[in-house]
Chain A
Amino acid sequence: MIRLIRSAIVMLLLLTAVTGVLYPLVATGLAQALFPSQANGSLIEKDGKPVGSALIGQSFTDPKYFWGRPSATAPQPDNAAASTGSNLGPTNPALTDAVKQRIDALRAADPENHAPVPVDLVTASGSGLDPEISPAAAAYQVPRVARVRGLSESQVRAMVSMATAGRQFGVLGEPRVNVLKLNMALDAH
Chain B
Amino acid sequence: MTTNDFLQIAIYLVALLLLVKPAGSYMALVFAETPNGVLRAGRHIENLLYRLSGVRAEEQMGWRRYAIAMLVFNMAGLVVVYALQRLQQWLPLNPQHFGAVTPDSAINTAISFVSNTNWQGYAGESTMSYLTQMLGLAVQNFLSAATGIAVLVAVVRGFVRRSADSIGNFWVDMTRSTLYILLPFSLVIALLLASQGVVQNFRSYVDVPLMQHTTAVETVKDAAGNTVKDAAGKDVTRETTVTTQTLPMGPAASQIAIKQLGTNGGGFFNANSAHPYENPTPFSNFIEMLAIFLIPAGLCFTFGSMVGDRRQGWAILATMLLIFVPLALGAVAAEQAGNPALHGLAVDQQAGTLQAGGNMEGKETRFGIAASGLFTAITTAASCGAVNNMHDSLTPLGGLVPMWLMQLGEVIFGGVGSGLYGMLAFAVVAVFIAGLMVGRTPEYLGKKIEAHEMKMASLAVLVPCALVVICTAIAVATPAGTAGAANPGAHGFSEMLYAVTSASNNNGSAFGGLSANTPFWNVLLGVCMYFSRFLLAIAMLAMAGSLAAKRHVPPSAGTLPTHTPLFVTLLACVVIVVGALTFLPALALGPIAEFLMSAH
Contacts and interface: CB of A to CB of B under 8 A. Distances in A.
Interface of A: 3-12, 14-16, 18-21, 23-24, 26-28, 30-32, 34-35, 38-43, 50-62, 65, 69, 75-93, 95-96, 99-100, 103, 115-120, 122-137, 139, 167-169, 171-176, 180, 183-184, 187
B183 A134 contact: no
Nearest to A132: B365
Interface of B: 4, 7-8, 11, 49, 52-55, 68-69, 72-73, 75-77, 80, 123, 125-126, 134-136, 138-139, 142-143, 171, 175, 178-179, 182-183, 186-187, 190-191, 194-203, 205-206, 208-212, 214-218, 242, 245-249, 251, 253-255, 257-258, 269-271, 274-277, 280-283, 285-286, 338-342, 345-349, 352-368, 371-372, 387-390, 392-396, 486-491, 494-495, 511-513, 594, 597-598
B285 A173 contact: yes
21 contacts: A4-B69, A5-B76, A16-B139, A19-B143, A27-B253, A53-B247, A55-B277, A82-B125, A83-B274, A88-B392, A89-B495, A90-B393, A91-B491, A99-B342, A117-B348, A119-B347, A125-B363, A127-B274, A139-B354, A172-B283, A172-B285
A99 B347 contact: yes
A59 B212 contact: yes
Contacts of B511: 87, 89
A19 B183 contact: yes
B347 A84 contact: no
A82 B362 CA distance: 15
Nearest to A172: B282
A79 B247 CA distance: 9
B283 A169 contact: yes
Given A27-B191, A90-B393, 8 more contacts: A28-B200, A79-B216, A80-B248, A86-B361, A90-B341, A92-B491, A119-B349, A127-B364
Given A82-B123, A86-B362, A103 B345 contact: yes
Nearest to A103: B346
B598 A90 contact: yes
Given A119-B360, A134-B356, A55 B365 contact: no
B393 A85 contact: yes
Contact of A168 (B77, B190, B282): B282
Listed from nearest, the 4 A-B pairs whose CB atoms lie closest are A173-B282, A126-B274, A174-B368, A87-B513
A46 B125 CA distance: 27
A60 B212 CA distance: 6
Contact of A88 (B285, B338, B353, B513): B513
B271 A129 contact: yes
A21 B187 contact: no
Given A56-B245, A83-B275, A89 B487 contact: yes
B364 A125 contact: yes
Given A4-B69, A4-B72, A10-B53, A27 B251 contact: yes
Given A14-B53, A59-B214, A82 B270 contact: yes
A45 to B, nearest CB: 10
B211 A183 contact: yes
Contacts of A117: 346-348
Contacts of B389: 85, 126
Given A19-B178, A27-B200, A135-B355, A65 B212 contact: yes
Contacts of A7: 53-55, 69, 171
A53 to B, nearest CB: 6
B356 A87 contact: no
Contacts of B594: 89-91
A178 B75 CA distance: 47
Nearest to B280: A55
Contacts of A28: 200-202, 251, 254
B52 A14 contact: yes
Given A11-B53, A55-B280, A130-B365, A75 B217 contact: yes
B186 A23 contact: yes
A70 B526 CA distance: 34
B135 A21 contact: yes
A81 B246 contact: yes
A53 B270 CA distance: 18
B342 A92 contact: no
B271 A24 contact: no
Given A35-B195, A125-B364, A56 B393 contact: no
Contact of A80 (B139, B198, B247, B338): B247
Contacts of A187: 211
Contacts of B512: 84-85, 87
A133 to B, nearest CB: 6
Counting chain A CB atoms within 10 Å of each CB, which of B186, B209, B285 scores highest? B209
Contact of A116 (B73, B347, B513): B347
Contacts of A53: 208, 247
B329 to A, nearest CB: 18
A131 to B, nearest CB: 6
Contacts of A84: 123, 270-271, 512
Contacts of A39: 194, 198-201, 253
Nearest to A65: B212
B211 A80 contact: no
A34 B195 contact: yes
A136 B347 CA distance: 12
Contact of B360 (A5, A91, A123, A180): A123
Contacts of A86: 361-362, 390, 393
B366 A174 contact: yes
B487 to A, nearest CB: 4
A80 B393 contact: no
B285 to A, nearest CB: 7
Nearest to B209: A51
A9 B11 CA distance: 44
Given A10-B54, A43-B206, A89-B594, A172 B371 contact: yes
